[in-house]
Amino acid sequence: MDNSLLFQQKPYLVKYRFFPFSEYLKERFPHKVYKIPLHAGFTCPNRDGRAGTGGCTYCANESFSPNVRVPHIPIKEQVERGEAFHRKRYGAEKFIVYFQSFTNTYADIEKLRQYYDEALGVDDVIGISIGTRPDCVTDEILDLICTYTGKYHVWIEYGLQTIHDKTLRRINRGHDYKIFHDTVIHTKNTCINVCVHVILGLPGETRDDMMKTADTLAQLDIQGIKLHHLYVAKNTALAEEYFKGEIQTMDKSAYIHLVVDFLERIPSDVTVQRVVGDTHGNFLVSPIWKASKAEIINGITQEFKRRGTYQGALCPNAFAASDNNVAIRLPSLHGQREDTGKLKVNLHTVGI
């Protein structure tokens, strides 16, 4: 075999066949680092009327963010409680504060600064991750977030869910793909890491639709991705559709196959921050999988191994994984990736 076709494989690609966020953190920090989810009391523009009403059809923040279900707790106290919990349970040493619930850039700049500073001011916090919508980020907000990159590890997490506008309209997102694309390109002019949220199994979408989302994201030079399966939570518009028989959810095996299909198209240096959605309490309607998150992750790894592939295997210049830390270059299936470049664009934002 030509030695030019060999390279030293990243250990995590041999072990997991994809790039878990836990491995990403181990590569970058000498400490055990964990994320602490926060609820700052924000709302969303497709809830308050500025970009729609009712919110996303699938969204019940209280189903995945326990902090939403309790009376509002000051940011500093939420961080301190989170640190104590993760230290005791996981031996955590340092922390990334994660503004998770609703749209965490949807406020005036001074309020955002106050909340971000309060969270980052707690001892042992080394980073911040801000979950938001692509239509709720302005130049001023990006400039604010950039001020933290000199001292902290900084992420912005954009909810996309799909590149297909017909689906975005059906789930009442209140923005289109172009807004997302322009905002990501704009963010890439900064030092902020970009993570993108995608839901697999959205109403009306085919496997080809989902793979087009993967192929498109593979060209955007993002740093992270979160995958969620479509689940139906109580007290949502999606639950009404489900009980009318208008939508279906996937079984575990089908989802595992879709995740592997999707990640084969995502470059192997993009860290996977989540591979399955989860709910807290009794909010889940469907699907009911009798499997832990660890079992689903193991199922994904085993499916990669069964195929003899790994994350990024269908990207240009991909390599086939092997268990002896050597890999063979695979032929490109998609041609050359587009260079999106450092473009200056106008952001399409709702009024804040």
Give 334-339's long-range contacts (Cβ < 8 A, gap of 24+): 334/215, 334/218, 334/265, 337/218, 337/219, 338/219
Which secondary-structure segment (H or E) carries 34?
strand 33-38
Q: What is the mean pLDDT of residues 183-205?
A: 96
pLDDT tens per residue, range 234-274: 999 999 999 999 999 999 999 999 999 999 999 999 999 99
Percent of the chain topping pLDDT 90: 72
Q: What is the mean pLDDT of residues 280-302?
A: 90
Give me 87's structure tokens. Answer: 């230290």
- Asked whether residue 45 is domain-assigned, the answer is yes
Confidence label for 53 from pLDDT (cuts 50, 70 and 90): confident
* Rg for the chain, CA atoms, rounded: 20
Residue 16 and residue 294: Cα distance in Å, rounded?
A: 12
Residue 71: what pLDDT?
A: 65
Give me 57's structure tokens. Answer: 């059809």
pLDDT tens per residue, range 129-170: 999 999 999 999 999 999 999 999 999 999 999 999 999 999
pLDDT tens per residue, range 220-234: 999 999 999 999 999
Residue 327: what pLDDT?
A: 41
Confidence label for 67 from pLDDT (cuts 50, 70 and 90): low
Percent of the chain topping pLDDT 70: 84
Residue 38: what pLDDT?
A: 96
Residue 3: what pLDDT?
A: 28
Phi-psi region of 209 (alpha: psi -120 to 50; beta: other; left: phi over 0): alpha
Confidence label for 45 from pLDDT (cuts 50, 70 and 90): confident
Host domain of residue 72: 3-329
Q: What is the mean pLDDT of residues 340-349?
A: 40
The number of distinct structural domains making up the chain is: 1
Residue 203 and residue 331: Cα distance in Å, rounded?
A: 34
Determine which of 38-52, 243-257, 298-312 has the lowest per-residue pLDDT on average: 38-52
Confidence label for 281 from pLDDT (cuts 50, 70 and 90): low
| Cβ neighbour number for residue 30 with a 10 Å cutoff | 8
Residue 24 and residue 117: Cα distance in Å, rounded?
A: 25
Residue 249: what pLDDT?
A: 95
**Beta-carbon contacts of residue 240 (< 8 Å; ≥ 6 apart):** none
More confident of the two residues 279 and 81: 81
- Asked whether residue 259 is domain-assigned, the answer is yes
Residue 278: what pLDDT?
A: 77
Give me 211's structure tokens. Answer: 């793979």
Which three-class secondary structure state does DSSP give residue 177? helix
Residue at token pair 């072990």: 15
- Asked whether residue 248 is domain-assigned, the answer is yes
- Asked whether residue 87 is domain-assigned, the answer is yes
Strands 319-320, 328-329: pairing kind: antiparallel
Q: What is the mean pLDDT of residues 300-311?
A: 96
Q: What is the mean pLDDT of residues 309-336?
A: 56
Q: 325 pLDDT exceeds 80?
A: no
Residue 5: what pLDDT?
A: 31
Q: What is the mean pLDDT of residues 289-298?
A: 93
Q: 189 pLDDT exceeds 80?
A: yes
Angle at 131 between CA 155 and CA 221, to 5 degrees: 45
Strands 33-38, 94-99: pairing kind: parallel
Residue 343: what pLDDT?
A: 36
Strands 232-233, 125-132: pairing kind: unpaired
50 CB-side CA count, 13 A: 13
- Asked whether residue 346 is domain-assigned, the answer is no
| Cβ neighbour number for residue 68 with a 10 Å cutoff | 18
Q: Kindly report the CATH number assigned to the domain that includes residue 289.
A: 3.30.750.200
Q: What is the mean pLDDT of residues 159-188?
A: 95
Which three-class secondary structure state does DSSP give residue 223? coil
More confident of the two residues 235 and 326: 235
Q: 334 pLDDT exceeds 60?
A: no
- Asked whether residue 302 is domain-assigned, the answer is yes
Residue 52: what pLDDT?
A: 81
243 CB-side CA count, 13 A: 9
Give the chain's mean pLDDT: 86
- Please give the sequence-ordered ranges of beta strands (E in DSSP) within 133-239, or none if there are none: 153-161, 193-200, 224-229, 232-233
Give me 319's structure tokens. Answer: 């390599």
- Asked whether residue 350 is domain-assigned, the answer is no
- Asked whether residue 107 is domain-assigned, the answer is yes
pTM as predicted: 0.87
